[in-house]
Amino acid sequence: MKRFDKIAIVGVGLIGGSIGLAVKKRGVAGEVVGVFRRASTMKRAMKRRAIDRGTLSIKDGVRDADLVILAAPVYTIVETAKEVFKYAKPQAIVTDVGSTKSWIVNKVESLKSYSGKSIFFVGSHPMAGSERAGVEAARSDLLEGAPCIVTKTPRTNSSAVSKIISFWKSLGADVKILTPKQHDESVSLASHLPHIVAFALAGAVPLKDFKYAAEGFKDTTRVASSDPQLWADIFLTNRKEIAAACRVFEKYYASVVRAITRGNYKGTVKLLKAAKSKRDKFSYGKR
């Protein structure tokens, strides 16, 4: 179902590309325009047919768009938003896909180029990803069954929120509404912490022992193959919540290690059982 005449995606990598593919597959927009920094990336996105048309100019890309999706790394989103607000048409809705929200939403809402315009910004975080990067890894079903958080602040326009919620739902995502702060708290535990732990594990285990590693190591460290800069952006813009999430992890981890090293069989089993019974309750979307 067509919901927008024209959607502009600024940054067409794994996420932007997957959104483009899904929008085109599901006929959600009349046209999908990709905005790029580099001609080479544009060529790759055209080859994947993730967009209908590409441009290197933000102005050219966004001026007729009803919906603009900022699909860049966290720090870049704010820089890009500044430009987008200059050229977007009145009544346009602008959203993003950044993995931290308070930092982005505060910065974006305070932009001079945003103030006083009838352009509506709504923060989003589609929680789908892969340790692989780039439009080559994009998939039209990446968002299917994935949680997608849409944020609301006192400045958020209600009608724009409704349209953004419908948009993500139309791509198959499981939409939840939170404040940016609630988002950052929950996601620091459910997503940022697992990434930190995976990076630390991959960093810690000596290369010479990799030949003795099997499925357990493989899965536990998979996301450590993710883009370091992208994740550094995320971690550093959510560091207060991440510090709190780390303390929660460290407490459980220390209990497990203490039980093991003291030879406390009952205590070890009890902690592992509690962890297992929680993990057994987890199911991810339709997968």
* Non-local CB neighbours of 243 within 8 Å, separated by 6+ positions: none
User: At residue 58, what is the residue type?
Assistant: I
The four Cα atoms 136, 137, 139, 143 give a dihedral, to 10 degrees, of: -140
38 vs 211, beta carbon nearer a second copy? 211
CB of 27 to a second copy, least distance (A): 26
Dig out the tokens for 72 from the structure: 């860049």
CB of 46 to a second copy, least distance (A): 27
Contact 68, 46 (CB under 8 A): no
CB of 90 to a second copy, least distance (A): 34
58 vs 142, beta carbon nearer a second copy? 142
38 vs 247, beta carbon nearer a second copy? 247
CB of 150 to a second copy, least distance (A): 12
How far apart are the C-alpha atoms of 31 and 165, rounded to whole Å? 20
157 vs 220, beta carbon nearer a second copy? 220
User: At residue 263, what is the residue type?
Assistant: G
Interhelix angle 265-279/239-261, rounded to 10 degrees, is: 140
Contact 17, 91 (CB under 8 A): no
Instruction: Give whole-number Cα distances, 145 to 87, 126, 239, in Å.
Output: 34, 10, 28
49 vs 270, beta carbon nearer a second copy? 270
CB of 105 to a second copy, least distance (A): 17
CB of 266 to a second copy, least distance (A): 9
What phi and psi values does residue 167 have, to the nearest 5 degrees? Answer: -60, -50
- Hey, how many other C-beta atoms are within 10 angstroms of the C-beta on 263? 8
46 vs 217, beta carbon nearer a second copy? 217
How far apart are the C-alpha atoms of 160 and 88, rounded to whole Å? 15
